[in-house]
Amino acid sequence: MAGGVGLLLLWSVLATTVLSTADGVPTPWAVLGRLLRDGWSFYAPHVRQTGGAALRGYLVGNAVALGAALLVLLVPALERLVTQVALASYCLPLVAVGPLLSTLLDGDTPIVVLAALAVVFTTLIGALLGLRSADRTALDVVYASGGGRWAALWRVRVVAALPSTLAGLRIAAPGALLGAVIGEYLGRVDQGLGVALTISAQQLEVARTWGIALVCGALAGAGYAATALLSRLALPWARDVDGGPG
């Protein structure tokens, strides 16, 4: 909160002093006023379109990443191939891949694919690190009790992987939204925050452009907060080991 307030104050000072002559830097109250005038009736369809595509991409991309992590654990020989493919998907510029996807896929599917590509690598690396952080003693206990690789996976490795995997999922949430917004620049949909951002910039609606950008940031923050809450609920033992009595 302190950082947000400080940033807002800095924005206000710069917009009214050093950058007062810059046409592209409105004051915070000008942006807020335009947000209120536009209202939910303007933003609702755009938020639903972008949020829906980002959510679908988030689910698909993370499912692929978690499946790939389990595959690498069960078949270690595939690790190099899987991680190289994931790294390539992470390094590919979305603005370059988007036009190719738009020629191959229909509707908003290219947007969903771009959102998925934005999350695969992050979640895969977090899951792999977590699966490999399992306590060796606990694994030996499972094997000594007659359990095999599957028993060790579900009883030890998956539990050990939860903290780093959920950390990857938190980072992936804003990434999925970014992929969806970039995908909307392809023009395959007539609604969405990316579409609204493009139109308002072309029409030189500076305050509205900044307002849409803030809504994008708020939506990304909401995704991060939701996954952070999930982490706290799923990992009650990791909240604060020093916060208890005694």
Q: Which residues, in sequence order, are CB contacts of 231 under 8 Å at separation 6+? A: 163, 166, 167, 169, 170
Q: State pLDDT tens for residues 185-227.
A: 876 788 899 999 989 988 888 889 989 998 999 999 999 999 9
Closest listed residue to residue 168, CA positions, set 84, 51, 64: 64
pLDDT at 242 exceeding the cut of 70: no
Contact between 118 and 175 under an 8 Å Cβ cutoff? The reply is yes
Q: How much is the average pLDDT of 227-245?
A: 67
The dihedral built from the CA positions of residue 81, 100, 223 and 56, taken in this order, carries a sign that is: negative
Q: State pLDDT tens for residues 168-184.
A: 899 999 999 999 998 88
Tokens of 56: 């679908």
**Domains, the chain, ordered by start:** 26-232 (1.10.3720.10)
The mean-pLDDT minimum among 4-18, 103-117, 193-207 falls in 4-18
One-letter amino acid at 202 equals: Q
Contact between 94 and 182 under an 8 Å Cβ cutoff? The reply is yes
Q: Which residues, in sequence order, are CB contacts of 30 under 8 Å at separation 6+? A: 207
pLDDT at 153 exceeding the cut of 80: no
Q: How much is the average pLDDT of 3-7?
A: 77
